Amino acid sequence: MMQCFHFMVEPAKNLTAKIKESHKRAKKEKKEPLDEDQLFVVDLARDLSRVCQRSAILEHIWNQDDTWPTPLCRVFIVQCASMLESKKRPMQTDGWPETDEVKQPDMINEDDLEQAKTVILDWTKDLRAQPEQSVWPGEPVVKVLEDLQSAWRWGRVPNLLAAMELVLWTLILQRPDKDTIPQQWLLWKQRTQKIGAVSYVPQPVWDWIRDAAVEVNLDLDTANPDLLITDEKRMRCGFERKDIPNYHQRFDGWWCAVGVESFGSGRHYWEVEVGERDWRLGVVKESALRKGFKSLNTDTGYLTLRLERGTELKALTVPFTALPPGLIPRKVGIYLDYNNSQLSFYDVEKHFHIYTYNEVFTEKLFPLFGTVEIINDLVIRSPATKTDCFCTTPCLWG
């Protein structure tokens, strides 16, 4: 039976491969000529892959299998120049250069673009003088590049921008210790681009985030009396307000509760299944007030995301920051890197970044949970182990 099954599957695999190859050929035949900015990125990809070992993934860019739209090329060129210029600035405590926030395409003028190209061309003159395949990127970067290539082939990654950035950082920094480059790349992306910084978090980096998983339980003494809480992991709104002690730490306005655990250092990660209507997630500072219906935003000690009416996702900054509807998740990963001053939110099922608060923390932080759902529970989940995989495509790091 197993042999029969093998012979049934093998032709299907071959057929799938032939279909993909046919689509690729058709795509190449229909390609329009690249403009100047696109060609600039293509040439840079060729220069990077010539020097950096195990970076064959960039061939998809300079072979034009992965062609970026012009606005993305312009943003990348300006950001790449900013990376190179930042080498001349003081280093951060994590050893990475300071960089400015990413400019949007409509903010980039021709003078900025030409200046950025000049900076890159000056750097590539030295790069071209280096021997072929002379730089080893380190095993962690190689694993990320392999995962990105697989994800791109299966359509989970829209383009290979992340691969270009990682190889570029490897060649710019020339650090002997390359083990932390993928993690530091993620921190840098989230620092320079707070909204949707990474369309796909590579599996090895995702595993590193999940290594910081902690058990979080709801603190019943802080829960709004309207909330129904079961097993300290589930909550939803009830129909009647319970007659319970109104402790000073209890929410009596907004339908919220905090976790029992507080965090004052280190890395911490937890996951929450959310409803499709309204929810609020994040952290609250120990000193923040919890009474009444005062706005729960950064001015009052709350760093949260909120979904309103099922369609409006917001970061509750002052004023609030509206987030694209395409970033609305069903399962949220919350990652607190206290020492690196970041609180980040991810879509667990799709492995993409939603939003990051970059703020220096000076006091204890409590996980915050809020919902107005009366049917579906908001559920705190223990993050899956590395052997569990939610993706529908082959996984290299399962």
- 190-227 pLDDT tens trace: 999 999 999 999 999 999 999 999 999 999 999 999 99
Query: Which segment of 28-32, 154-158, 226-230, 358-362 scores lowest on mean pLDDT?
Result: 28-32
Count of beta carbons in the 10 Å neighbourhood of residue 90? 7
pLDDT interval class at 384 (50, 70, 90):
low
pLDDT interval class at 387 (50, 70, 90):
very low
pLDDT interval class at 94 (50, 70, 90):
very low
Q: What is the DSSP letter of 218?
A: B
Q: Which of 372, 287, 367, 311 is nearest to 334 (CA)?
A: 367
CA pair distance 185, 83, nearest whole angstrom: 12
DSSP-assigned states of every residue in 241-291: -------TTS-SSSSEEEBS--BSSSEEEEEEE--SS-EEEEEEETT---S
Residue 355 pLDDT > 90, yes or no? yes
Percent of the chain with pLDDT over 70: 83
The ranges assigned to domains in the chain are 31-196, 220-381
- Token digits of residue 352: 């993409």
Annotation: CATH topology of 220-381: Jelly Rolls (2.60.120)
- Token digits of residue 229: 């809480």
CA pair distance 247, 3, nearest whole angstrom: 67
CA pair distance 57, 159, nearest whole angstrom: 11
Task: Give the chain's mean pLDDT.
Answer: 87
Buried b (16+ CB within 10 A) or exposed e, 194-208: bbebbbbbbbbbbeb
Residue 356 pLDDT > 50, yes or no? yes
Residue 60 pLDDT > 80, yes or no? yes
Residue 264 pLDDT > 80, yes or no? yes
Residue 246 pLDDT > 80, yes or no? yes
Contact 367, 283 (CB under 8 A): yes
CA pair distance 272, 345, nearest whole angstrom: 11
pLDDT of residue 28: 52
pLDDT of residue 82: 87
pLDDT of residue 396: 32
Higher pLDDT, 365 or 24: 365
The predicted model gives 268-289 an average pLDDT of 94
Higher pLDDT, 31 or 358: 358
pLDDT of residue 177: 78
pLDDT of residue 357: 98
pLDDT of residue 17: 54
Query: Which segment of 51-55, 108-112, 139-143, 202-206 scores lowest on mean pLDDT?
Result: 108-112
Residue 78 pLDDT > 90, yes or no? yes
The predicted model gives 177-200 an average pLDDT of 92
- For 395, counting Cβ atoms within 10 Å of its Cβ (0-12 exposed, 13-18 middle, 19+ buried), the class is middle
Residue 29 pLDDT > 50, yes or no? yes
pLDDT of residue 175: 73
pLDDT of residue 398: 31
Residue 27 pLDDT > 70, yes or no? no
Count of beta carbons in the 10 Å neighbourhood of residue 338? 18
Which residues, 6 or more positions from 278, have their beta carbon under 8 angstroms from its beta carbon? 306, 307, 308, 309, 310, 371, 372, 373
pLDDT of residue 242: 83
pLDDT interval class at 34 (50, 70, 90):
very high
Contact 223, 369 (CB under 8 A): no
